[in-house]
Structure 1
Amino acid sequence: MTAQTKTDAWTADRDHLLHPYTDFSTFREEGSQVIESASGMHVIDSEGNKLLDGIGGLWCVNIGHGRKEMAETIAEQVMKMQYYNPFGHSTNVPASMLGAKLAELAPGDLNHVYYTCGGSTANDAAIRLVHFYFDQLGQHRKKKIISRANAYHGATYVAASLTGIHGTKMGFDRIGEDFIHHVSAANLYEKPDGWSDADYCDYLVREFDARIQQLGPDNVAAFIAEPIMGAGGVLVAPDGYHRRMWEVCQKYDMLYIADEVVTAFGRLGEWFASDALYDYQPDIMVCAKGLSSGYIPLGATLLSTRVYDVIAQPQCEGGVLSMGLTYFGHPVACAAALKNIEIMERENILEHVREVGPYLQESAKSLMNLPIVGDVRGSHLMLGVDLVKDKGTKEAIGDGVGEKIFQGCLKRGVIVRPVGDRMIVSPPLIISKEECDEIVAAISGAIKDYLADEGA
C-alpha cells in the first residue's frame, strides 16, 4: 500500500463510515487502524505491522485468514451462479446441501434451517418464529421472552433488546420491554461470598422459576441463552446450570433458544456445545460467525421438528410463511460454509481445539499473579481476563486501563479485545501452543508496563 493510498483509506473511513461501537470522543482525531491484509493467524496493518490475531476477527475466523481453498470455492460459485431469488419454492444447490449438513451436525432433531445474514438477524428470526409457533397453537398470550443480564444477542432492534449489557443501550430507545425480560447472568466471579457453585446454581434456577411465575407461565414463550457468554464477559455458568434451566422450560412449556453464534463450529471443541458439553437439547439454535469462518456473512436459525411441524401447517387458506430475506441461503455464502466445514473435518480442527484450548486456559492462569488481575476464566478458545482495582473488593479498574493494556499488546504484535475492564481472547482455532504463550506473554507484559508507568 502506498503512502497516498493509506492516507486516502484512513481519511475516507473517517469521513464516511459509521463503525460498530464508534467512540465519537476520539474518532475524528484518531480515526481507524487500517488492516491491509491477513494470512493464517496474522493480520498486517497499513504501517506494515504483522499482528497475531488473538480475537479471530470477531470470534469468527475459525480456520484462519486467507485460505486459498475458500477463495477458489467462492470464485467458482460466483462463476456458476452468484445469486437467484430464494422466495417461495426456489432453491440452490449450496443452500440445500448446507441445510442437510447442518441437520447432520446439529444435536437431536434440529433438522430445519432458516438462513439469515448473521447472528443478529438469526436471533430476530428466532423470536419471530417463537411467536408464530405459539400463535399457531392458539396460545396467543404466550409472547414473553426471558434473556439474561450481560447477555449479547446482537445489534438489530429486537436482538439489541434481548441483549442485557447496559452499556449497549445508553442513549437508545428501548423496544420490546413489554415482552423482553432479563434474569441474572451466571457469573461465578461475582457469586456471594460463602456460596458454593451449587448454592449459586440453585439461586439462579430459583430466580428463573420465580420470574416465570411473576410474568405468568401462560405468558412466557422462551428463554434465550449463550452456552458461555461471549461479549458479556466470557461467563462460564456453574455445573448443571443449563440443564436445569432447560428443565424449567420443559416444566412451563417454554422453548429453549441456544444462541451459539460464538460457541458453535469448534470454539469449544465441538460443532455445537449445548448437548455435547452442557447436556440440554435446544428447541431452536442460532449460529453464524464460525459457520463460514467470516469469509462471507451468513447466519442460520435451526429449528427442531417440534417447532417445524407446527409452523409448517398452513395458517389459513392461501397463507404462507411471510418472512424472509433477499439473501436467504445465498449460494456463495453457503458454498463457503460447506468448504469451511470440509476443512474443519479434514484437518481435525475440533480435536486440535480440545488439545490447545485447555493449554491456553492453563497458561493464562499465570496472569492471576499480577495485582490488577481479578479473574481469569473461560473454556477452550474463549478467555476473559478481568482487571480490578482491588482483588478483595473486585472493583473494576476503570480509567481506560483496558484500552491501555490493548495498546500495550499491540506494541508486542498481538491483538486482544478490550471490553471495558476486561480483556477477551478468541483466536482462530488453528492457533499453536506457542502462539497461546505469545498472547499470554503480551497481556502480561502490557500489564507490567502499565503498573510500572503508574509506579505500582
Structure 2
Amino acid sequence: MSQTNNTAPTDNIEANPDDVEDFALLQPAPVAKEMGAERRGRMVESDGIYVTDADGRRLIDGPAGMWCLNLGHRHPTLANVLRDQALSLTYTSPWYTSNSPAEKLARMLADRAPGDLNHVFLTTGGSSAVETGLRLMQFYNNLRGQPEKKLIVSRDGAYHGSTYLSASLNGRPRDHDWMDGASEMVRKLTCPNPFHRPKDMTVDEFEDFLIKEFETLIEKEGADKIGAFIAEPIQASGGVLMPTPNYIKRMHALCRENDILYISDEVVTAFGRLGHTFASQDVFGIEPDMIAFAKGVTAGYFPLGGLMVSDRLLTEIRKSNHPDAGFVHGLTYSSHPIGCAVAIRTIELMEDGLLEHVREISPYFQDSLKSLEDLPLVGEVRGQGLMAGIEAVADRVSNNPLNLDMRVGQRIDKHCQEEGLLLRPLINMCVMSPPLIIQRDHIDEMTRILRVAITRTTDELVREGFELA
C-alpha cells in the first residue's frame, strides 16, 4: 500500500466520489479518490522554528518546510531583501539580458563550490536543476560525437525531482506505481542503505557488493553508453538513508575511470544542512562534475535552484568542432533578480556563525534522537548534521516493516502534532530537518514529543492486533 507524503493529516474523505465536495486547490501527490476534494491541515502563521495551524496549535517545524527553511520563518532581513529588490529591479529576461544580483550570486557560488565548479546555471528549483544537468550531459556527448552515451545511472531509494526526466530517476516504488517515466534512459542500482543489507553481510562487504554492482553494470552496458551517475550524498526523501563510509568516494572513482559524469544532487545537503555551503567535498571528499542545488539557497523564501558546472566540461564544449551548436535550454525565471538577491543574503547570514552552529549542535541533535532506539517500534535512528530519519519496524530481527500498518509514519505525525511537533511522514518512517537556528532546548522538546508519539502509536498498533517483536 502506498501513501502520499503529506506533512499534515488530511480531513477524512469518503471513498464514494459522488459524496465529496470539490476543492479548488490541487496539492502534490494526492491519491485518486481524493483528487480535487482533498483538504490538508492548514498552516496560518509562522515564526522562528514554529508554525501555527488553523486550530491555533503552535508546532515545531520539524521538516523546516521541506528541507528548506534553514534560517527559520519570518526572518526580517530576508523579508526586506525581497521587498527592496522587487522595488529596484523586479524581473528581467535571462534569455537576452543579465542582472547584477545573478552575476554576484554566481561569483559567490563559484568561490564556495569544490574543485573547478566555477560556473552556475540558475533554475527555479531542484527538479529543474537536475533536469539541466541531464540535458547538459546529453548536449556535451552530442558535441563529442558520442550520441549513444546517454544512459543515466541512479539508485533505488533515490529522489531527484518531479519533471518527467528527473522523476524517471527516482527509486522509490510509489513514484512509479501509477506514473510513467523515461525508464529506457535510466538504470537503477541497489539502494546503499546498510540498515537493510543482507543479514549475512558486514557493512564493508555490503559496500564491496555495491561497488561491484556498478562495475558489472558498466561492463554490461558499456562505458561508451553511460553518460552520468547521479547521487544524493544522503538519500533524503528516501528516509535519510546513509551510505556506507567509503561508498561515495569509490563510486566517484569508478565514474572518473570510465568517463562517466558524476552529478551530486545536493538539493538537501547543501547550504548548511550538514554544516557547510556544499557537502560534496567538505563532508564526502569528492569533486563532482556537477552539483544540483536548491531549497536552502534562499532558505525557502523564494523558488531558486541551480547547477554548478566544472571548467573542464565547459572548456571541452567551447573547443568542440560544433561552435554554433545551441544548448537550447532555459527557464522564464532563471536568474530571477529577487531570488538571487535573497540567495546572496542567505549565504551571508549562514556564514555569520550559523554554519559553525550547525557543526556544533549536530552531535547533540543526533545523540538525542538516537536515544529513541530503546523504543520497541524503532528499528533505527540515522542521520548526519541536522537531518535525521526514524524507521519503524515490526520486528528487530528482520527489520521488516511490512507487517506494520504502512501509514505508521502518519500515525506518529498525528500524535506529534497533538504535542506540538510537525514531522514529515514517509510510510513507516519519520523525517526531520529542522531550521538551522534550532537550539538544545528545542531538540529536547522534539525528542520528548517523539517518545510520547511513538509510544502512543505502539499502543494503538498492539490494540489493533499488529504483531510486534
TM over 0.5: yes
Distance 1:115 1:315 in 2: 27
Distance 2:321 2:451 in 1: 59
Q: Structure 2 regions of 5+ residues with no counterpart?
A: 1-20, 464-469
Preserved CA contact (<8 Å) 2:165 2:181: no
Q: Which digits, 9 at most, give the CA deviation of each residue in 1:400-444, with x for residues without a partner? A: 221111100000110011000001011011111111111121111
| Partner in structure 2 of residue 361 of structure 1 | 366
Displacement, 1:133?
0.8
Which structure carries more helix by proportion?
Answer: 1
Q: Which digits, 9 at most, give the CA deviation of each residue in 1:150-181, with x for residues without a partner? A: 10000110010011111011211222x22211
| Partner in structure 2 of residue 383 of structure 1 | 388
The AA in structure 2 aligned to 1:110 is L
Distance 1:441 1:25 in 2: 36
Sequence identity of aligned pairs in percent?
Answer: 39
Q: Structure 2 residue aligned with 1:205, among 207, 211, 226?
A: 211
Displacement, 1:322?
1.5
Displacement, 1:108?
0.8
Residue 312 (structure 2) pairs with residue 320 (structure 1): no
| Partner in structure 1 of residue 357 of structure 2 | 352
Residue 65 (structure 2) pairs with residue 60 (structure 1): no
Displacement, 1:366?
1.4
Displacement, 1:314?
7.1
Question: Secondary structure, in 3 states, of the residue corresponding to 2:27?
Answer: coil
Q: Structure 2 residue aligned with 1:118, among 95, 118, 125?
A: 125
The AA in structure 2 aligned to 1:103 is A
The AA in structure 1 aligned to 2:449 is A
Preserved CA contact (<8 Å) 2:139 2:327: no
Preserved CA contact (<8 Å) 1:314 1:320: no
Q: Structure 2 residue aligned with 1:222, among 221, 228, 231?
A: 228
Displacement, 1:83?
0.4
Distance 1:267 1:400 in 2: 27
Q: Which digits, 9 at most, give the CA deviation of each residue in 1:198-242, with x for residues without a partner? A: 111111000011111111111011100000000012111111111
Question: Secondary structure, in 3 states, of the residue corresponding to 2:88?
Answer: helix
Greater mean deviation of Cα atoms: 215-224 or 256-265: 215-224
**What value does the CA root-mean-square deviation take over the aligned residues?**
1.6
Q: Which digits, 9 at most, give the CA deviation of each residue in 1:325-383, with x for residues without a partner? A: 1111000000000011111112x111111111111111111111111111111111110
- TM-score relative to the length of structure 2: 0.91
Q: Structure 2 residue aligned with 1:92, among 94, 99, 107?
A: 99
Residue 25 (structure 2) pairs with residue 17 (structure 1): yes
| Partner in structure 2 of residue 3 of structure 1 | none
Distance 1:423 1:281 in 2: 31
Question: Secondary structure, in 3 states, of the residue corresponding to 1:320?
Answer: coil
Q: Which digits, 9 at most, give the CA deviation of each residue in 1:61-118, with x for residues without a partner? A: 0011111110111111001111011113x21000000000000111111011111100
Count of residues in correspondence between the two structures: 441
| Partner in structure 2 of residue 301 of structure 1 | 307
Q: Structure 1 regions of 5+ residues with no counterpart?
A: 1-12
Q: Structure 1 residue aligned with 2:413, among 398, 406, 410?
A: 406
Residue 339 (structure 2) pairs with residue 333 (structure 1): yes
User: Relative to 1, partners in 2 of residues 1:395 and 1:417: Cα closer, same or farther, differing over 3 Å?
Assistant: same
Q: Which digits, 9 at most, give the CA deviation of each residue in 1:111-148, with x for residues without a partner? A: 11111100001101100001111111111211111000
Distance 1:454 1:182 in 2: 34
The AA in structure 1 aligned to 2:258 is Y
Preserved CA contact (<8 Å) 1:14 1:32: no
| Partner in structure 2 of residue 80 of structure 1 | 88
